[in-house]
């Protein structure tokens, strides 16, 4: 199985900050990676797919990059609504593994 790691596990930031979250795969997954945002008590929300494609309706301050084994999610200017937990998910292998999550507080 392909394993996913994320760093940091927790990130303290302020409104207006540029925030970067890193996701790494245990082997190359090309660009088969998605990013999700989850708030307490809510289902996850798709932000980015195919590593860098912005889901319809998602603010342009969110962007994704990377390929192979290293990926990043960037929030260009953190807004109050962005305090949440972020997960990456690979869908290259047999399994669709999630990363352990990064909490932005």
Partner 1 sequence: QLVQSGAEVKKPGATAIISCKGSRYTFSDYYIHWVRQAPGKGLEWVGLIDPEDGVPLFAENFQGRVTITADTSTETTYMELSSLRSDDTALYYCATAYRLGSCSGGTCGLDFWGQGTLVTVSS
Q: Which residues bind partner 1 (CB under 8 A)?
A: 1, 32, 34, 36, 38, 43-46, 48-50, 53, 55, 87, 89, 91, 94-101
CA gyration radius, the chain:
13
Tell the smallest beta-carbon distance from residue 56 to partner 1 (Å).
Answer: 9
Please tell me the number of Cα atoms within 13 Å of 20 on its side-chain side: 6
Tell the smallest beta-carbon distance from residue 44 to partner 1 (Å).
Answer: 6
User: Which pairing describes strands 53-54 and 62-67: parallel, antiparallel, or unpaired?
Assistant: unpaired
Tell the smallest beta-carbon distance from residue 83 to partner 1 (Å).
Answer: 17
């Amino acid at each position: 199985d392909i394993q996913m790691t994320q760093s940091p596990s927790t990130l303290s930031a302020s409104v207006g900050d540029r925030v970067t979250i890193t996701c790494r795969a245990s082997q190359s997954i090309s660009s088969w990676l998605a990013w999700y945002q989850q708030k307490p008590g809510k289902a996850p929300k798709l932000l980015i797919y195919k590593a860098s494609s912005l889901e319809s309706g998602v603010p342009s301050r969110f962007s994704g990059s990377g390929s192979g084994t290293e990926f990043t999610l960037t929030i260009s200017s953190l807004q109050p609504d962005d305090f949440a937990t972020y997960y990456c998910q690979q869908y290259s292998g047999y399994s669709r593994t999630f990363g352990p999550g990064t909490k932005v507080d």
